Amino acid sequence: MSGQNLPPLSLHVPEPRSRPGEAADFSDFAIPVAGAVPRPESHARPADIRDLCYDMIRVLDDQGRARGPWNPRLASETLLRMLRSMALTRAFDDRIYRAQRQGKTSFYVKCTGEEATSVAAAHALDYDDMIFPGYRQQGLLIARDWPLVDMINQIFSNRADRLKGRQMPIMYSARGANFFSISGNLATQYPQAVGWAMASAARGDSRIASVWCGEGSTAEGDFHSAMTFATVYRAPVILNIVNNQWAISSFSGFAGAEATTFAARAIGYGMAGLRVDGNDALAVYAATAWAADRARSNQGPTLIEHFTYRAESHSTSDDPGKYRAAEERVKWPLGDPIVRLKQHVIALGIWDEERHALMDAELAEQVQQAQREAEKNGILADGLKQNFDSMFEDVFEEMPWHLKEQAAQMLAERRAAGI
Amino acid sequence: MAGVSEAAPVEAGPTRTMNMIQAINSAIDVAMDRDGSTVVLGEDVGYFGGVFKATEGLQAKFGKTRVFDTPISENGIIGVAVGMATYGLRPVAEIQFADYIYPAFDQLVSEAARLRYRSAGEYTAPITVRSPFGGGIFGGQTHSQSPEGIFTHVAGLKTVIPSNPYDAKGLLIAAIEDNDPVIFFEPKRIYNGPFDGHYDRPAAPWSKFADSAVPEGYYRVPLGKAKIVREGNDVTIVAYGTMVHVASGAVAESGIDAELIDLRTLVPLDIEMIAASVKKTGRCVVVHEATRTGGFGAELSALVQEHCFHSLEAPIQRVTGWDTPYPHSLEWAYFPGPVRLRLALERVMQD
């Protein structure tokens, strides 16, 4: 201790607004008015639109009406396709979550409440734009009509799993959908997406990249490396932060949310940033389309913060009742993205509750059917059903001697084990 | 890429005297000419041509979208390289000093090395990461390290270390053309000339040595193939990089009839050549400049023991750097030089 007569320092350790057993309190959250945020031209200079990093782009109001300049004015069929993709994502999550609980696989991650942040974004991109997902973007694959059976095969690590049972459940790879292999190490996909976009630009291509991470992983060095490279080379990339406010048990304050918004990370890099109501599919669509226009016209990258709420656990391996107030989910002021889009299409007169209930039943059946199909190929609990040799394949393009030797040792061990 | 012959004479063209830097520059030049998807990125590699001049002239020749400077972010350089490879390019990334590679470690270990495996071949990372490494230049603890052992430990990475201009060019072309990620460590102490460890004697340039005769065109030195630098019957010395020359000098001074093997590639390792040699000599010394504990020498020692136990007449000796950071002023007490080699040779010949 110094001998000087100075007040003692104190360390600030962030604390969320409520913990288990306490009342959830969102009273300090002023709900932004739908339609109030101006929409600049997509070639606007980042320095002129910094307010967009602190405001919140919202299109749908409380009555489900589309408001203001960010209304993407989508065709009815697009709206209904997005609604269906979001509902299918939720049906898929519910079903596979139960399958995990029934012991059919080791792990699952739902995206309940966040469906718009992937589904609406995917609809605003071209199919051949390259997407670099995090682990909670199953909505991207579903929006790109990827076969559910293939996804479940991966989740069950069964005989038909194209990834040969190598990856934890939900770490999909789907080149056919221009969907990058999911890592599991956080934010590593960020500089990779920037590199892909740089390559596309260097080659005079017209395709752009889009990447997702959670607000928690914006603290990773990869996030900041990616931001630097993206801005330096004006890479045609959309950088999405899904701010669902919780990183397992750590609230967004541990990623810096007490000090500023995540969209405002863009300002220091001189990048365009948008803060969007992530539970408003139209706002997500509009923001993505705006950012895509910028990217395609060599205006460079855009950082989009999707403000949302992780309605359920981080994964099947944690219980949110142990670290956050139970009623947060119901008190959360920005609602549910599916309910809100449904309300909108009903208000437009192109949808009704009856059709919605029918669709939900049909989607549940579709997922159930897909699970049955996938189960014909086995489940994780069946044990060591993958071809043993496959363990040593794809480490390198050609198998070197030491892996051949180890493969032989492993097979001898299997024989000794009587398998 | 096994089974490729060492040189394709027609394409290799006339030879010219080159040092290692010139050979590396020529390798990249040739690779970029042959494959329009090859790009070079790294700190200072563009207009300036790199702090060691390995990429000199390449930006002027191939343009800024194929040879470009990067932010000082090794993590970003490798992350971006993986993304470019995903697009279909073939990036050759320079990490200015191997000591700076650690911020890129996760992208190399968890991403580049595993992409083929985790996606079952849907995505690959055919990137080459060049990086000057090793000491003997008064670089202190942040410009002298030899971190090859932490990369050889990683499944999915190849690790290559040349010891002379001819090999440097042929191995680098092979590395760039390889469809797996390759860590290519360049022993910077021997960029300009071989170094036998006698720091107090005048340095000789590469032009005085046969390995500086480098074809101007295309040829490959295949990955995974070691080379016998000196044939001998009494003891096998396994080395790579700068240590090939230190060992060569020590052998000449000792009068011991040692067989000296230059590994050239650490992973995949040419175990056949090592095993055949040790079975012949019955003795083995493994040499590297890196710290000892958990180093690649430990792997070599274990492999020799596994493959040649019944031929061994003496304990395998390890000649390495000490398990300390690389000290600036005490560099020559740290560096595994002629004396450390001589003492190890004496020990291994005792029994």
Tell me the DSSP string of A27-65. TT-PPPPTT-S----TT--GGG-GGGGTS-B--B-TTS-
pLDDT on residue A4: 80
Number of A/B CB contacts below 8 angstroms equals: 146
d(CA B66, nearest CA chain A) in Å: 8
Same domain, B123 and B43: yes
- CA–CA dist A239, A236 (Å, integer): 10
Contact A195 B80 (CB under 8 A): yes
- CA–CA dist A17, A2 (Å, integer): 36
Beta-bridge mates of residue B319: B287
Using a CB-CB cut-off of 8 Å, the residues of chain A touching B80 are 191-192, 194-195, 198, 229
Catalytic residue check, A340: no
Tell me phi and psi for residue B308, to 5 degrees.
-130, 20
Catalytic residue check, A310: yes
Same domain, B18 and B127: yes
Beta-bridge mates of residue A66: A60
Best A192, A211, A224, A271 member to test B by mutation, with max B CBs in 10 Å, is A192
Nearest to A117 by CA among A274, A345, A304: A304
Same domain, B206 and B234: no
Sign of CA dihedral A43, A45, A50, A51: negative
The strands making up B38-42's β-sheet, listed across from edge to edge, are B67-69, B38-42, B90-94, B128-133, B182-187, B158-160, B265-267
pLDDT on residue B5: 45
Nearest CA in chain A to B74: A225
Residue B222 falls within a domain, yes or no?
no
- Beta B90-94 vs B67-69: how paired, if at all? unpaired
Locus of tokens 């030089």: B337
Residue B334 falls within a domain, yes or no?
yes
Nearest CA in chain B to A227: B76
- CA–CA dist A92, B205 (Å, integer): 67
Percentage of chain A lying above the pLDDT 70 cut: 99
SS3 A144: coil
Q: What is the pTM of this model?
A: 0.97
Best A394, A401, A402, A405 member to test B by mutation, with max B CBs in 10 Å, is A394
Residue B4 falls within a domain, yes or no?
no
d(CA A166, nearest CA chain B) in Å: 6
Best B117, B157, B223 member to test A by mutation, with max A CBs in 10 Å, is B117
Residue B5 falls within a domain, yes or no?
no
- CA–CA dist B226, B340 (Å, integer): 24
Residue A37, Cβ neighbours under 10 Å: how many?
23
By the CB < 8 Å criterion, does A179 face chain B?
no
Give the per-residue SS3 of B246-268. HHHHHHHHHCCCEEEEECCEEEC
By the CB < 8 Å criterion, does A392 face chain B?
no
Same domain, B272 and B174: no
pLDDT on residue B347: 97
Average pLDDT, chain A: 96
Residue B282, Cβ neighbours under 10 Å: how many?
18
Residue B2 falls within a domain, yes or no?
no
Same domain, B152 and B200: yes
B209-257 pLDDT per residue, tens: 999 999 999 999 999 999 999 999 999 999 999 999 999 999 999 999 9
Same domain, B165 and B28: yes
Task: List the CATH number of the domain containing B303.
Answer: 3.40.50.920
Q: Name the residue among A191, A195, A398 with its Cβ closest to that of B2.
A: A398
Residue ranges for chain B with pLDDT beneath 70 = 1-9
Q: Which of B215, B238, B273 is the last residue of a domain?
A: B215
Sign of CA dihedral A25, A29, A34, A40: negative
- Beta A302-307 vs A237-243: how paired, if at all? parallel
Contact B75 A185 (CB under 8 A): no
Q: Would residue B88 be called left, alpha or beta, if left means φ above 0 and alpha means ψ between -120 and 50 degrees?
A: left
Contact A269, A231 (CB under 8 A): yes
d(CA A34, nearest CA chain B) in Å: 37
By the CB < 8 Å criterion, does A130 face chain B?
yes
Residue B221 falls within a domain, yes or no?
no
pLDDT on residue B31: 98
- CA–CA dist A62, B206 (Å, integer): 77
Same domain, B166 and B56: yes
Same domain, B326 and B183: no
Question: H or E element: which one contains B17?
Answer: strand B15-17
Best B35, B87, B274, B306 member to test A by mutation, with max A CBs in 10 Å, is B87
Quick one: average pLDDT of A27-53? 95
Contact B66 A402 (CB under 8 A): no
Cis upstream peptide for B268 (omega within 30°): yes
pLDDT on residue A54: 98
Q: Name the residue among B82, B116, B117 with its Cβ closest to that of A192.
A: B82
- Beta A237-243 vs B265-267: how paired, if at all? unpaired
The structure tokens listed for A221 are: 């060095």
Q: Name the residue among A196, A225, A395 with its Cβ closest to that of B87.
A: A196
Q: b/e per residue, B240-254, with b = 16+ CB within 10 A?
A: bbbbbbbbbbbbeeb
Locus of tokens 């045609």: A236
A1: pLDDT confidence band, cut at 50, 70 and 90? low
Residue B95, Cβ neighbours under 10 Å: how many?
24
Same domain, B297 and B177: no
Polymer length of chain A = 419
Nearest CA in chain B to A199: B84
Same domain, B172 and B309: no
pLDDT on residue B3: 39
A375-419 pLDDT per residue, tens: 999 999 888 778 888 999 999 999 999 999 999 999 999 999 987
Q: Name the residue among B80, B107, B118 with its Cβ closest to that of A229.
A: B80
Quick one: average pLDDT of A153-178? 96
ipTM of the predicted structure? 0.97
Residue B330 falls within a domain, yes or no?
yes
Task: List the CATH number of the domain containing B154.
Answer: 3.40.50.970
Contact A173 B1 (CB under 8 A): no
Q: Which of B215, B243, B265 is the last residue of a domain?
A: B215
Q: Give the domain extent around B254.
A: 227-350
By the CB < 8 Å criterion, does A415 face chain B?
no
Question: H or E element: which one contains A200?
Answer: helix A189-202
Instruction: Say whether pLDDT at A298 is over 50.
Output: yes
Q: Would residue B235 be called left, alpha or beta, if left means φ above 0 and alpha means ψ between -120 and 50 degrees?
A: beta
- CA–CA dist A78, A353 (Å, integer): 18
Q: What is the DSSP letter of B109?
A: I
pLDDT on residue B6: 52
Same domain, B207 and B262: no
Using a CB-CB cut-off of 8 Å, the residues of chain B touching A406 are none
Residue B220 falls within a domain, yes or no?
no
Active-site residue set of B: 143
Question: Among A50, A65, A234, A323, which one carries the catalytic annotation?
Answer: A323
Q: Which of B215, B249, B272 is the last residue of a domain?
A: B215
Same domain, B22 and B162: yes
- Number of domains chain B contains: 2
pLDDT on residue A26: 87
